[in-house]
Amino acid sequence: MKSKRSMKKVFIRTFGCQMNEYDSERMLALLKGEYIPCREPKEADLILVNTCSVRKKAEEKVYGLVGRLKHLKRTRPEVIIGVCGCVAQQEGEQLLKRLPHVDLVLGPQAVYRLPEALEKIARGKGPVVDTRFHKDFRQPLILPELNGDRPVKAFVTIMQGCDNFCTYCVVPYTRGREISRPPEDILAEVECLVRQGVREITLLGQNVNSYGRKEKGFPSFAELLREVASVPGLWRLRFTTSHPKDLDEDLMRCFAEVPELCEHLHLPVQAGSNRVLKRMHRRYTREEYLSRVKKLREISPEIALTTDIIVGFPGETEEDFEQTLTLLEEVRFDEIFSFKYSNRPLARSTAFEDKVPEEEKARRLARVHALQDRITREINESYLGKVVEVLVEGKSPGNPALWTGRTRTNHVVNFSGPHGLKGKLVRVLIEDCGQHSLRGRVENSQ
Ligand code: SAH
Ligand code: SF4
Ligand code: F3S
C-alpha cells in the first residue's frame, strides 16, 4: 500500500437508490490503496458520478453535474471523469457524444471492473465504455472495511437486475436480468460487517422476494432471511424492495417468527385502479394487494407499511386516480414516496398515446401529498406517550445535542439522553412529533 501522501484522490457522487449507494461503496473499496476519498471535485484525480435514470429529473441532474465538470477537465486534462450506474448503461457510447470530456462509462454490473478500466485509461487506451452484463453474481467478494466513524447499519446487495418489466420502468434495461448472489457470499459479508460493529443490515434487490428462484440449489428468500438473522451479533434485519405479486405467506410469517426482522415492509403499490395496474403490467389487482396487506397485519399486527405511488400514468382518468386516494385511506401507510409519471427511454409506456398533461399530474401529486401528510401525522401522533426501542445511529444532524435512530417500524426518532449511546439499543419515551420524525427522551439503556 502507498503512503497516504502519495495516494491519488477520488471524488464520488451517488444518485438513485440504495443499490447505487452500495455500488459506490464497493468502488471505493476497490480503489483502496491507490486512492483516498476527497470532498470536492476540484481536489480529485478521479471523479465518479454514479447515476440514476429511473425518472427524467434524476437523469437531468446527472447531465447538469457532469456538464459542469467540463471546465475542470479543460484546466486539468489529467483528471479522469467516469460516469457509472444506470444512465451509463442506458446511454453507453452515446454518452461520449453528448459529454466528450468523459473518460469512462461503466454500467451497474461493470462497477467491479473499475480497476481494469482505470488501468486501460492509464495506458492511453481511453475512453473506456463497459456496459457488459454478467451471467452470475460471482464477482470477487470485496469484504467491506469500515474506518473512522463506524456506521451502525449497512446495506448488503443480494441480487441484481429485474425481470418484471413494468411498462413504465427503465430498471430491467439498466440493471439487466435478475441474478441472485450466492448465499455464502452474502453471509460472509454480513458476518464481516457485524464483526466490525454493524448491528442492522438491510438486504437489497429490486425484487428481493424472487431471490434464488432462477439459480439451482439456492435457498428461498425466506430461508435466506432466517440464515442471515441467525448471524450472532446482528440485532436488526430489514429488506427492500418487495414486489406485491411475490409476497407469499412463508415470507409474511418471518415477520412473526424471526425476532431480528423489523416490523416494516416497503411494498410498492403504484396505483389503486385495476385498469392502471394492468397497463403498468404489475400483475396483481387492488383486491389482491389489499388482501395481502390484511394477511400481513394478521400475522404481524404492529407492522408499518410504506409504498411508492405513480400519479398520471398514461390513460389514468380522474376516476382511476380517486382509487389511488381511496387505497391510501384504506391501507394507511406510514409513509409514501410519490412521483409524477415520466417517460423513460426503452420503457413501453413511453409509446402509450394517452398521456396525462403535466399540470394535471402536478395537481394529482399535490392531492396525494395532502392526504398522506394527514395520515402520516395521525400515525406519528399515535406514538405519543409510548416507549419504543431505538437503535442509536449517532448525533442528530439537525441538532447535535440530540441522538438519532429509528424504531423497529423505521420511524426516525430524535431524542435526548446520556453520552455514549451510539450503537446501543435504547428505550425512548415519545413526547412530541413532527411530519417526518418523532421526538423524545431516553428511558434507560441496555
Ligand atoms: N423495484 C422497485 C423500485 C423501482 S424504482 C419496485 O418494483 O417497486 C422506484 C420507484 O420509482 C418505483 O416504485 C416507481 O414508483 C418509481 N418509478 C419508476 N419508473 C417511473 C417512471 N417512469 N415515472 C415515475 N416514477 C417511476
Ligand atoms: Fe421496475 Fe417493476 Fe422491476 Fe420494480 S419490479 S424495478 S418497478 S420493472
Ligand atoms: Fe435509479 Fe438504477 Fe436504482 S435507475 S433507482 S439507480 S436501479
Q: What is the pLDDT of residues 154-181, one digit of tens each?
A: 999 999 999 999 999 999 999 999 999 9
Residue 271 has pLDDT above 90, yes or no: yes
pLDDT tens digits along 40-77: 999 999 999 999 999 988 889 889 999 999 999 999 99
Measured from the Cα of 20, ligand 3's closest atom is 6
- Domains of the chain plus CATH, in order, are 4-130 (3.40.50.12160), 153-381 (3.80.30.20), 387-445 (2.40.50.140)
Ligand with minimal distance to 51 CA = 3
**Are 47 and 66 in contact, with CB atoms under 8 Å apart?**
no
Q: How far is the CA of 62 from the centre of ligand 3 (A)?
A: 13
Alpha helices (runs of H) in 204-269, residue ranges in sequence order: 221-229, 249-257
* Residues 146, 198 contacting (CB under 8 angstroms): yes
Q: How far is the CA of 169 from the centre of ligand 1 (A)?
A: 6
* Nearest in space to 83 (alpha carbons), one of 130, 137, 125: 130
Atom index in ligand 1 nearest the CA of residue 206 equals 1
State percent of the chain over pLDDT 90.
89
Instruction: Measure 345 CA to ligand 1 centroid, in angstroms.
Output: 14
Above 90 in pLDDT, residue 296? yes
Contact of 309 with 269, CB cutoff 8 Å: yes
- Amino acid 126: pLDDT: 84
- 372 pLDDT more than 90: yes
CA angle, corner 250, sides to 240 and 232, nearest 5?
65
Q: Whose CA is nearest to atom 7 of ligand 3?
A: 171
Taking the CA of residue 108 as reference, the ligand 3 atom at the shortest distance is 2
pLDDT, one tens digit per residue, over 82-107 is: 999 999 999 999 999 999 999 999 99
Q: What is the pLDDT of residue 181?
A: 94
Is the model's pLDDT at 144 over the cut of 80? no
Using a 6 Å cutoff on CB, does residue 20 contact ligand 3? yes
Whole-number Å distance between alpha carbons of 380 and 218: 40
CA distance 356 to 281: 18
Q: How many whole angstroms from its chain centre is CA 231? A: 23
| The predicted structure's pLDDT at residue 136 | 66
> Among the atoms of ligand 2, which is closest to the Cα of residue 170?
1
Measured by CA distance, the residue closest to atom 3 of ligand 3 is 17
Nearest-CA residue for atom 1 of ligand 3 = 52
Kindly indicate the confidence band of residue 112, based on its pLDDT and cuts at 50, 70 and 90.
confident
Q: Is the CB of 54 under 6 A from ligand 3?
A: yes
| 256 three-class SS | helix
Give residues (CB < 6 A) around ligand 2. 162, 164-166, 169, 171-172, 206-207, 243
State if pTM tops 0.85. Answer: yes
β-pairing, 153-157 with 35-37?
unpaired
Which pLDDT score, from 0 to 100, does residue 122 have? 94
Report the separation in Å between the CA atom of 314 and the middle of ligand 3, taken as the mean of its atom positions.
22
Cα gap 425→445, rounded to integer Å? 7
Which pLDDT score, from 0 to 100, does residue 404 have?
A: 97
Kindly report the average pLDDT of the chain as a whole number.
Answer: 94
Closest ligand (CA of 49): 3
The ligand 1 atom nearest the CA atom of 349: 22
